[in-house]
Amino acid sequence: MIILASASPRRRELLKQVVSEFAVIPAAGEEAVSGPFSPEELACALAEKKCGEVFAAHPADTVIGCDTIVVCDGLVLGKPEDEDDAFRTLKMLSGKTHYVITGVCMRRGDKKLVDCCKTEVLFNELSDEFIRGYIAGGSPMDKAGSYGIQDEGVVKKYYGSYTNVVGMPVQLVKQMLGVILK
């Protein structure tokens, strides 16, 4: 059986594009790792931690763990702590280019694969009024960088994988599954 180690409804929908049947068993541990990491290494380490936690309880299955971070001006932005944090994050991203990096870890038996996908994203200029309305709608509260690429008016352009920005790089996951299921 394939297990998605994530509670994200967006990842669940994206994984359906790759495999028809899978279980969802979210990792329950804290989303933190220690050490000096590049943003890519951090995304991979967080994905590896989630995958490892679920794999430890389900060693006979294939487990997929993912973690998405946003990087702007050298700062790593995760999910917002509250509405004020979401406002600060969206204000910082307004009119700027940033990167979305999703780490993916898969484990099956004694095989482990870890990789990441990086997408460049350019934001529209967002007014304070737009940001407040966007936050009031609730969309930013469970997303790295406090936004969803699928939400109207936020993203101007992106270069790379759209599904990566949503939370799971579908092409990378297909490739990795092809290797790990052999």
Which are the catalytic amino acids? 67
Print burial letters for 51-75: b (CB count within 10 Å at least 16), e (below 16): bbbbbeeeeebbbbbbbbbbbbeee
Tell me the helix, strand and coil percentages in the chain, rounded to 5: 40, 25, 35
Nearest 5°: the CA angle 177, 165, 1 is 25
What are the start-end ranges of the H helices in the chain?
A: 9-15, 39-57, 83-93, 128-136, 162-166, 170-180
Find out whether 106 and 51 touch, Cβ atoms under 8 Å.
Answer: yes
Half-sphere exposure of 59 (CA within 13 A, CB side): 3
How long is the chain? 182
